[in-house]
Each structure stands twice: as C-alpha cells, then as structure tokens.
Structure 1
Amino acid sequence: MLPSPAGSLLARETTSSTDEFLKLVSDPFSSQLSSKSVLVALGTSLGVTFVIALLFCLLRPYNTIVYAPRLRHAEGKHVPPPMGKGLFAWVKPILTTKEDTLVENIGLDATIFLRFTKMCRNIFLVLSLVGCAILIPVNVVGGHSLYKQWDSSIDGLMKMTPQYMFGSIFWAFVACAYAFDGIICYFLWRNYKAVTRLRRAYFDSPEYQASLHARTLMVTDIPKSLRSDEGIVKITDDLKTTPEVPRAAIARNTKDLPDLIEEHQEAVIELEKVLAKYLKNPNKLPANRPMCMPSKKDSSHAGKSEKVDAINYLTNRIDHLEKRIREVRESVDKRDAMPYGFASYESIDSAHSVAYVAKNKHPHGTTVRLAPKPNDIIWKNLPLTPATRKRRRIINNLWVALLTLVWIAPNALIAVFLTNLSNLGLVWAGFRTQLETNPNFWAVVQGVASPAITSLFYFFLPSIFRRLSIKAGDVTKTSRERHVIHQLFSFFVFNNLIVFSLFAALWQFIATVIDETKNQNKSVMQALQDGHPLVKIMLALCNVSPFWISWLLQRNLGAAIDLSQIANLAWGSFARKFLSPTPRQMIEWTAPPPFDYASYYNYFLFYMTVALCFSTLQPVVLLVTALYFVIDAYWKKYLLMYVFITKTESGGQFWRVLFNRVLFAAFVSNVVVALLVAARGDRWPMLSAMIPLPLLLIGFKFYCKISFDNQIHYYTKGEIKGPEAAMPIDKESRRRDRVGVRFGHPALYKPLTIPMVHEKSRHLLSEIYRGRLDIDTDAANVAGYSDVYSMKRMSRDRPGKAAGAPAPFEIVSEQKLDFENFKDRPEFSEEFGGDGEVYGKPSDLIRPGTPGSVMTNDRGRSVSRDSERTFTPDEEGVPGTTYPAGYHTTPSALREYSPSPDDRKYGGPDMTATRTESNPYQLKDETALLYEAAPMGHGTPRLEESSTFDYFKGRPL
C-alpha cells in the first residue's frame, strides 16, 4: 500500500524537524558568537554597570536602612567608619580601611573573603599581563598563514585562538602552563601566610582568650560505658594527661523537645501572618474570620481534613505546645545520657594541646576535637553514630550526583532553545506560527524565560545542598557551608562548564561515529580513531570561548545590582504597601542581612575556573576576569563593611576549601593545555614535559599543609612540662564556667517566641478571640519597646484599665518597628548577628551561669523570656527570667553546683566584686542577689531629682 500524500508530507516534516534539531544541538552557538557580540556585551555591561553604580550613589545617603544597616546597629569595635552624605563619600572609607581594622569591624570570615577577592584580582592582573603578552602574538602570528589561506573572513576574535596552528609552536603553551602555575602558587603561598598570621592574631584576641569554646573540647561517639562526666575525663586523660583536670559535662537526651520548639515557632509565625492579614484594616474587618487546615503534626486533629477557625486553633495549639515544652524541660534531667559531651579546661593551651594529640586518634572509638561556638553546632546531628554518618554521606553523594546528572538535559535544552526561541520554531511548526503572529510577546519571553528559570534554580540550589548536608550528618554550620561550597563548585564545573562547553563537540563526535559504523561498515574503534576526538574537543572549546567572554562581562552587572541592593529596596517598598507583613517581618527587613559565603565563594571560584580553563584558548578572558575582580573587590568591601553581617563566625575556617579549589582550577588549565598539544602539537615530547605540573601542584599542597595548617588550627601543640608547670586551679572560675549549661542544648533554655501584633490592632484582640488560654502570664513592659498583653488583666501601660487581649501577645508600635529595638533578643540576634556578636559581646562570653540569670552586655541588660513568660522586673525596670522549676532544682550531671538560691550565702565567694571596664563593681556571679549593687560609699543618691513627686509620678505606685 502506497503512503498517502499527507503521510509523506508528515514524514518529510518530521524528518526535517529531527535533522534541524540535531543540527541545532550540535552547534548551539553558531549564530550567536562573534567579535561584534563581545563588543556589544562589553559596552552594555560597562554602561549599565555605571548607571546602576550612579543610582546607588544617589540613593545611598537617604536610605541607611538598606545601604548601611551595620552603621545603624553595630556596637563597639564592630561599628564601621562613618560616612558623609556626599555622592562619593563611601569611597574614602573603602580605600583607607586597613585589614587589621577590618578584622575588628567585620570579623575574620569577612576579612578573609575580601583577602580572597583581592588575591583573585592580583592573580588575574598578572596572568593578563603574561598571557596576553605571550599567547595573543603567538596565536595571531602562528596561525596567520593558515587562516589567510583557508578563509580570510575569519572573525578577529577567533584569530586569537590556537585552532589554526600546528607543530612546535605549542611549546609556548607549555611554557605558559608552567608560568601560570607558578604565579597561582606564589599568590596562594603568600595568602596562606597572611591567613596564618590573621588566625594567630585571632587566637590572641581578648574575645577568643575570654571565650569558653576556646578552651573546651567536644567529644562525640562516646560508648555507653563512658557516658558520664567521669567517662569524658577518662577519655581526655587517655589522650594526654595535663596538669589541669577538665570540667566535663555529658549531654542529656532532649528527645522531642527540639521538635516541639520548632512546631511552636511555626505556629507563632503562622498566627502572626493570620492576624496581620485579618487586621490589616482595623476599622473594617473582613466579613469572615480566617480559616486554616490543622497541622499534620497535631495529633488532636489526626485524620481530620476540615478547616477550623485559624485564630482559635493556633492560639490553643501554641498554648498546648508550651505546656508540653514546660513538662519536658522539667523532666529533662531524668532522661538518659547522650553519646556526646564537652570538657572544659582552665587554659587554652591545655585544651589545644589535647586536641592536637587527638586529631589522628580515636580513644575508645570516640572523636575528640576543639569545641565550636555553641551557636555553630547542629545539635540534632551530634548523637549520630559513625556508621549512620557514613551511610548518610553515601546517600547524600548519590543525591548530589543524581541532581547533577538530571540537570544536563534541561541545561542543554535551555542553551539551545530558550536563549533563542526561533530555534524552537524550526523544530515545532505550531510554535513557529505563534512566533510569527506575536513576535513582540515572544521576544519578551525569550529575554525573561532563560535567565528566570536558571536564576530560580540556582537560587534554591544552595538551600537544597544545605538540607542534604544536614541530612548527611554535619555537626557544625561551618562544616555544612564548606560542604555546600564543594557541592556547588562541583555542580557548576560539571554542568555549566564541561557539559555546556563540550556538549556540541560530543554530540557531533557521537553522531559521526554512529554514521560511520552504520553506513560505512567501520568498526567502533576505527570510527573513534578516524573521528579525531581531541581535535573536535579543542575546536569546540575555541568556538565557545567568545560566549564565556560575554558571560563574564555580564557578571559586572550582577556585581552592580548586588551593590545597589535594588531587589531589597524594591521588595521592602512593595511588601509594605501591597502585602500584609507582620511586625516581625518588618523588624527583620531593617536588620543587616546575613552574607551567603557559600554562594559567593562558589561564584568566584567558578569564574576563576572558567577563566583559567580558557586562558590559553582565548587569552582575552583573562583581561575580562581581571576587570571583574578589580571592580567587585571594592564593592564587596563596602557591602561587608556597611550592609551584610556574618551569621555564624567560624574564625576564618573556609580558607582550606578555597585553596584546594584554586589548585583544582590550575589543574584544569593544565589539562586544557595538554589537550591542545596532544591535538595539534608535538604530542609526546610536550606531554612528557607537562608531567611534572600536577606533581608540583600536589607537592605544593602538602608543603602548605605541613607548614601552616597546625598553626591555623591550634593555638599550641604545646607540651606541658612536668608538675612544676601546673597552674593553680581557680575554683571560682570553674564555678562560673558551668560548661554543661553554656554548651547545653538550646532547647533547654531557649526563650519561646511570643506572637507580635501591631499596636493599631490592640483594641480588637479581645473581640477576635473566642475562648480563653489557661496560662499564667503577666503584662509587663519589655525593655521599653513593647508589652506582653494578656486577657482580662490589669494593664501596666494603662493604670486602672483592664488589658483587653484574650491571649498573650506582644504589642509593637509603629515607631518601634526597627531592628535597633530588638537586636538583643535571641530570636533576632541569632539570625541577624551571629548570636548577638555584632551588637555586643558574643554569647559564649556572656551566657548566664545558670538558666535563671539575666544576660548582660556592653549596652546593659537584655531581655530573656521563658516558656511560661513570667517576668520579674529588676530595679531598672528590665525584666529578669524565671525558668521551669524542674530545670532549676532537679539534680543533674549537667551541673556541678546547684543554681538554687537556697545554696547561696550572703557575703560568700559568689558575692565577691571584681572591677571591669564596663562595670567597676561587677559581681563574679551575675546570678547573685545583689548583682550590680554598688558597695557602700560609692553610691551617691540624686536628692535633687528623687525627692520630688515628679520623679516618681510615672511609676504605678
């Protein structure tokens, strides 16, 4: 039966579409890359970058919330240099602030980030000088005769590539490979020395010397027979006996307490959103009350799918969770010990010397290391066994590999079709009709679709890898971020460099091999040899090099947008006007945002790898990369000095990850040079000459490791010499340490969050709530900027009036919706200030000796609230904290001394006063009864003010 005309037409159209598809994917850049496109990219990049930078200069003086939040909120030595209101007043502080000042202002992590950025700038400035001076003349002169003979219309940018050369001239590339590696290694060595110097200065800083974590060891994987305070001491003594006996604390099982606190936090945030939306216009409430689906974690509504009143449900759920949290906290001391604990020494020398001995040992199957800061610990991963961690790491690596491989197809299709929708029209007739009918609409889609999809994916990619790293068992946030850098870098290099650059060459090569084996009856091996795969790969890399030049030029736009903070400025304005933000969200918008080190490090490492990979193929890429780092080195310095904060300060522990990846980038550059000489040069002599290069890189890595790593990681490897070196033990210092409390799980002492409501809705709280929370609360002013508002109780802020709110809410006025008023609160400082480190002393220095004490810092007392929300104002009107009774009084191995007030004696050792710079009469134990009371003879009453009624009339006496 003969085919119908329609069938033949369909078959021809299908064949034509398939051939067109194969042609497109085999050379996706053929119509897009030229010298003219690179010049256009250069002009638009520099032009738009200049406009955005000028816009930043105009907006900066009038919006310090967005452009200088650190200047508004940081305290003490963390305050950056002041800036004027002039357009370019921000330039002078950036140029004049030195590195030692930066360490104090922005911390060691941020300082090393800026040092790494400057190192990249210096490397590419020198490489540009060497590479362009040698390789461009070699490529142009060496290939002149061939491309003049073959095709005189070859693009000028392509003449700078080595694809038209053969023979011994490639010895120049071998020499450049040695020169490039030497330059990179020199700058790495120089900066390794500088990082070591910075770390030693960090060890000697007053903050580190005074911190508890600096002289504390963390012991994990403890066997059951040693899960006690005495067992931890035995483990450390088996490693090395020191004149000091460490004070140990085995951890206790908190079981479901962290999950309960997380559920409580989620319920509070959800209630705030419901109230903010419902009370957006207090003068005209919506006709229907808000409804919601019960939480899947709520056992009381298991199996029920109907919606419930959101306000009633969430307030009752919060109450229920608080009661359960209180019960668990009261019984926590009765639970079993965990396989991890901490051992604190009197001196940093002792702790570090034991940690140094333990780095390659596992006494009794345990792992002993220096303790991180308490806020750096991922507590839920500490109890994991080594076998569980190993299994999870394998699963995590499989997921990362799967995600990397799965993204190959979308990445290739985006490169071929979404960046040029006319290509899609060539293989899809129906879409071609739509494209011709609405060209303007599809032009907009083409300009938005590809960047939007890729940007959205890369926006969520770090979060995906963070979740996978936590699942894999990372015990600190710092190690998690290091693993995220590693995974992001691997993903970008494989998908965005190797696959993206070699996809066309590999597709052409595979198609050729299939054709020759099928139509010419060649064997697979013969077809592979005749296909000249090395030549095809080299030509593909040369052809795609202009794309990477244009891409790197566009990175300047990203740097300018980052400096201008346009997204944050626009989103804040839009959300305040058109959405229903909660008071908590509006407070967070005024806080300095955390700096995403993992993402920024990955981008810089990827730019460096791309540039080094194409440095010998297209030397112009070195100039473009140097231009980017010259600009961004100063812009990132401004952002870290005035805008961003370090959420979790690691003390500069990212350097090793960066060092290894820069060496890997140098190795990739050597592989490309080897590919060139194998494809077109004198193959075996040149390849033999390049064999020492990877060996030299490996040798350099181990030299730096041996020379510097111990100095970076350990304050001392020190040997304690004999009993005469024994230091007297300060029992009062040991008493204040309370390592079991300071390194206790945050779930044991972390204050629970109170729902925030805007003051404009205060009068409606009693009307919108139906029911009653049976909770013991007391309305009190909280540090002068908000109040806890409870049902049918007397209001402190309105004497003689009943408080109208039916549940405990925190009322926040419009004037107080600023992070400045809340930065001392743990719920805000942990997220936007390294646990308060930027706004005073680190919590490691000031965490109270007992859970019932009042925190202090350079600015005075800060607020701490517990799950019962019970407040006791002190003499200054600042509330203290009362914790669940069971957590205070139940005997525990977590505490060597009872925090019960009954154990204190007036005039005892805890009442000894010691002078400090901030408080001449600060008590050694801040939980003592007369804490902050001046000794007799030093307090002078202010008779002129205090003897009149005007002085007291504001008090509810």
Structure 2
Amino acid sequence: MNPESLTASAAINFGLAFIVLSLFSILKKQPSNASIFYARRLSKRQQVHFEQSFTLSRFLPSVAWIPRAFRVTEDEILDFGGLDALIVIRLFKFGIYFFGFCSLIGLVVLLPINFGDQDEQSIIYHSMDPFTISNISAGSNRLWVHFTCLWLISFYGLYLLYKEYDEISVKRVQLLRNLRHRPDQFNVLVRQVPFCNEHNAYGCSVDHFFSKYHPNSYCSYQMIHDGKNIEDLMHQAKSVARKIEGLRGRFTVKKCDKESLLLDVSQEDDVKIALFEEKLQEIVHKIRQLQNESMMKGKELPVAFVTFKSRHGAALVSQTQQHSHPLIWITEMAPEPRDVSWRSLEIPFRILPLCKIGAIVAASLLTIFFAVPVTAVQGIAKLEKLKKWFPPAMAMELM
C-alpha cells in the first residue's frame, strides 16, 4: 500500500463518519422522529422539547451533544436506556480499548522493528512496505518480537473479555434484584388458544385449562382483542379534537374597526366547532359500543396473557409444553409492557416461522451481494499475488 491509498482510505472513513454524525444530529431534532430517538422517555411519560417553528437550526448539524454524551455515566445509561443499551456502549468501549492497545503496540514496538530490518539502499519512500512484516527477512530473530506481541495482544483481549463479562454479570444481577416485582415476571403469553364451541369464546378455554392443570399457581387471564376498529376511531377522535383546538385557538377577539366582519367569522367558527363536537360525540359513542362486553367477545384473538401467583409458576408454564399437540397452547414469558408489539400478536403463530425464514433469507442475500463485490474488488487489487499463490486466477486476464 502506498501513502496516497492510505490517505484516501482515511479521508473516506472520516468523511463517512462526519456524514453519519451530521445526519444523526439533524434527524434527532425533528419532532416526527421522537418515537425513534426518545422512545424510553416517551414510554415514561416524560416530555421532550423540540423547536416547533420551522427554523434553519433544525436542519443544521451541531456538535453540542457530543460533550454531553461523554459526560453520561453508566448508571444514567442503565436508567434511561436499559441493560441492552449499556452492553452496546460497553461493546464500543471494548473495541476502543482493544484497538487502542493494538495501535500502541504497533506504533511503539512493531513499526521500528519492521523499518529497522533493511539496508539503506533498499528503502523505497513511495511505499508503505518498509513498515510491514514483509520487510523482515526470513529466519530473522525479529519475528520473535512479532510472536511475543501477538501473545501479548491475545492475552490482553482475553483479559478485557473476562473483565467485561464479569462487570456486566454483576450489573445484570443487580438489575434483576431491583426489578423483582415487575408484573411481566408473573405473566405468560399464551398463543393458539383453542376455541370453545360451548361458549363461543376463547376466554373460557383459557380459564378451564389452567384451572384444571395449574390450580395452585393460576391466578387470572386477560384475552387479547382485535382493536383495529377502535384504533381507527381513536385516530379519528384525536384528529377531530385537534381541529376543535385549532379553531378555538385561531380566533381571538380583537378591537378594531371591522367589528361586523369579526362577528361573522366568530359565528362561522362557532358553527364549525359545534359540528366537530357533535362528530366527536358520535365517535365516542361508537367506541363505547365497540367496548361492550358482547362486542369484545366477538373480537377475541386466540392469544391471552395469563397471570400466576408466583414467578416460579409462570416460569414453569412458559418453559414446558402444555399439550400433546405442539401447535396449541404455546407458551412463553410475557414481554415487558413497553416491548409488547400488539400488531405482532395478531399474526397467526403458523406464519411466524415463515417470517423468520424470510428475515434469514433477506439477511443472507444482503450478505452475499455485499461480499461478492468486495471480494472481487480485493481480488483485482491483489491480482499479482493471487496469480502467484493461486494459479487459476490467471484466467481472469483472459476475461
């Protein structure tokens, strides 16, 4: 590799890093992205302040968040991001420590060793080869320095892995102790509940099954309902409520010469507000009708959250097969309340494996289509060495 290629590679990496950081800084300022960048704050009902007005500063990158990010402690990350976020941060710190140590060893020890094992007449100033291991002659004692450095780097990497695993394990145990009374630890998610023909519902099947086979630990259950209609009506109600607030806030009575015109506008707005309020009452009435017990029973899904009296009972049910038929009464531990994906609960269980297979195939195709061009480019760049070590590569010259 020559210095120009190394400089170009460094410039590309720094340029991409600058673009990514700039996009992050701009996107996190947009109110529409609050659910992505401030999901945990919103789940805790905390307010997130944005610049509501359309200003230029919203679309300019800033670096003020970078010093604040370095001042955040691990306890704060654990509090507002959770254990998974802390593990990701520790993974980046592990990479910085490890590659920083490798760079230090390379610059302080290996680079002088490699550069010193040559004659002054053979120095080529337009190439980086004098700084690599290829500059050391065969059988040289300097190779033992490389061998020792490899062992040193390996042991340091193992030490970092052991240290990170030990500290994360301690934090995980502490987190579990602090969250001993979480309700999701007493709940089990049950899929593929059989339909009760006698009562024309799924709920009675859940109650009869767990009362019969788990009488000592079973407590209660909650069926999941198809709430698409209610969700659509809720969106309509929110939209109408926003329109009413907009009409009330837009019109302000001011003293001026055109009082008659203001009076006409006020009457028009009052009529619109009355119509919207009437529409809102109709939507609320429809929602209450859909929330009726008889209506909700017809919207039941074959999915339920079952509550147990102890964590042991919930864990026992979630980790054992409940029926001889493997595709009914499928149990798993209930997710945390903020992690529940209600839309995924509506997907039939038999389709979930197909979704997983589709995701694996998509990831495999992405990896293949990424690896093939990269391999081809690297192969062309190292064609001379390939022809030496792999003679069939000479056929590429004929193409």
What aligned pairs does 1:743-822 form with structure 2 within 5 A after superposition?
none
Q: Is the 8 A contact 1:223 1:364 kept in 2?
A: no
Q: Is the 8 A contact 2:124 2:130 kept in 1?
A: no
Match of 2:124 in 1: 152
Indicate whether 1:224 and 2:195 are aligned: yes
Indicate whether 1:505 and 2:370 are aligned: no
Q: Is the 8 A contact 2:233 2:283 kept in 1?
A: yes
What aligned pairs does 1:513-592 form with structure 2 within 5 A after superposition?
527-528=392-393
Indicate whether 1:119 and 2:91 are aligned: no
Q: Is the 8 A contact 1:250 1:338 kept in 2?
A: yes
Match of 2:229 in 1: 256
Cα 1:228/1:334, change in 2 over 3 Å: closer
Counterpart of 2:185, as a letter, is A
Structure 2 residue runs without a partner (length 5+): 22-39, 46-66, 266-271
Counterpart of 2:315, as a letter, is H
Distance in 2 between the 1:125 and 1:510 partners?
32
Structure number having the greater helix percentage: 2
What aligned pairs does 1:225-624 form with structure 2 within 5 A after superposition?
227-228=202-203, 230-231=205-206, 234=209, 243-262=216-235, 265=238, 267=239, 271=243, 279=250, 321-330=283-292, 331-357=294-320, 365-399=328-362, 494=370, 504-507=377-380, 527-528=392-393
Counterpart of 2:347, as a letter, is L
Counterpart of 1:124, as a letter, is F
Cα 1:255/1:367, change in 2 over 3 Å: same
Q: Is the 8 A contact 2:187 2:334 kept in 1?
A: yes
Counterpart of 1:505, as a letter, is Q
Post-superposition shift, 1:217? 1.4
Match of 2:56 in 1: none
| Cα shift readout 1:404-438 (whole Å, capped 9, x = no counterpart) | 77xx7xxxxxxxxxxxxxxxxxxxxxxxxxxxxxx
| Cα shift readout 1:285-309 (whole Å, capped 9, x = no counterpart) | 9xxx9xxxxxxxxxxxxxxxxxxxx
Post-superposition shift, 1:224? 3.5
SS in 2 for 1:33: helix
Indicate whether 1:194 and 2:159 are aligned: no
Cα 1:105/1:397, change in 2 over 3 Å: closer
Distance in 1 between the 2:290 and 2:348 partners?
25
Post-superposition shift, 1:379? 0.7
Counterpart of 1:209, as a letter, is R
What's the % identity of the aligned pairs?
18
| Cα shift readout 1:486-522 (whole Å, capped 9, x = no counterpart) | xxxxxxxx47xx856x564345579999xx9xxxxxx
Structure 1 residue runs without a partner (length 5+): 1-28, 50-69, 76-89, 290-309, 409-493, 517-524, 533-957
Q: Is the 8 A contact 2:195 2:205 kept in 1?
A: no
Q: Is the 8 A contact 1:221 1:383 kept in 2?
A: no
Counterpart of 2:170, as a letter, is R
Counterpart of 1:328, as a letter, is L
SS in 1 for 2:218: coil
Cα 1:247/1:177, change in 2 over 3 Å: farther
Distance in 1 between the 2:281 and 2:299 partners?
27
Distance in 2 between the 1:261 and 1:133 partners?
65
Counterpart of 1:347, as a letter, is S
Distance in 2 between the 1:403 and 1:315 partners?
52
Post-superposition shift, 1:201? 1.7
Post-superposition shift, 1:342? 1.5
Distance in 2 between the 1:164 and 1:236 partners?
77
Q: Is the 8 A contact 1:250 1:341 kept in 2?
A: yes
Counterpart of 1:199, as a letter, is R
| TM-score after normalising by structure 1 | 0.28
Counterpart of 2:378, as a letter, is A
Cα 1:106/1:380, change in 2 over 3 Å: closer
SS in 2 for 1:224: coil
SS in 1 for 2:227: coil
| Cα shift readout 1:748-779 (whole Å, capped 9, x = no counterpart) | xxxxxxxxxxxxxxxxxxxxxxxxxxxxxxxx
| Cα shift readout 1:465-498 (whole Å, capped 9, x = no counterpart) | xxxxxxxxxxxxxxxxxxxxxxxxxxxxx47xx8
Distance in 1 between the 2:365 and 2:350 partners?
23
Post-superposition shift, 1:346? 2.2
Counterpart of 2:186, as a letter, is R
| Cα shift readout 1:648-703 (whole Å, capped 9, x = no counterpart) | xxxxxxxxxxxxxxxxxxxxxxxxxxxxxxxxxxxxxxxxxxxxxxxxxxxxxxxx
Distance in 1 between the 2:345 and 2:396 partners?
54
Match of 2:48 in 1: none
SS in 2 for 1:385: coil
Distance in 2 between the 1:363 and 1:391 partners?
17
Cα 1:180/1:356, change in 2 over 3 Å: farther
Post-superposition shift, 1:388? 1.0
Post-superposition shift, 1:377? 0.6
> What RMSD over aligned residues (CA atoms) do the two structures have, in Å?
5.7
| Cα shift readout 1:330-374 (whole Å, capped 9, x = no counterpart) | 354331532211121223343234445569x99664432221222
Cα 1:104/1:37, change in 2 over 3 Å: closer
Indicate whether 1:33 and 2:33 are aligned: no
| TM-score after normalising by structure 2 | 0.58
Match of 2:185 in 1: 214
Counterpart of 1:325, as a letter, is I
SS in 2 for 1:339: strand
SS in 2 for 1:343: strand
Cα 1:350/1:210, change in 2 over 3 Å: same
Structure possessing the higher relative contact order (Cα contacts under 8 Å, 6 or more residues apart): 1
| Cα shift readout 1:439-477 (whole Å, capped 9, x = no counterpart) | xxxxxxxxxxxxxxxxxxxxxxxxxxxxxxxxxxxxxxx
Q: Is the 8 A contact 2:225 2:296 kept in 1?
A: yes
Distance in 2 between the 1:148 and 1:175 partners?
29
Match of 1:595 in 2: none
Distance in 2 between the 1:273 and 1:529 partners?
75
SS in 2 for 1:338: strand
Q: Is the 8 A contact 1:213 1:372 kept in 2?
A: yes
Cα 1:30/1:350, change in 2 over 3 Å: same
SS in 1 for 2:350: helix
What aligned pairs does 1:29-68 form with structure 2 within 5 A after superposition?
33-34=5-6
Cα 1:154/1:374, change in 2 over 3 Å: same
Match of 1:622 in 2: none
Q: Is the 8 A contact 2:290 2:296 kept in 1?
A: no
Cα 1:401/1:214, change in 2 over 3 Å: same
Q: Is the 8 A contact 1:218 1:370 kept in 2?
A: yes
- Count of residue correspondences: 329
SS in 2 for 1:204: helix
Distance in 1 between the 2:273 and 2:385 partners?
67
SS in 2 for 1:342: strand
Distance in 1 between the 2:225 and 2:278 partners?
30
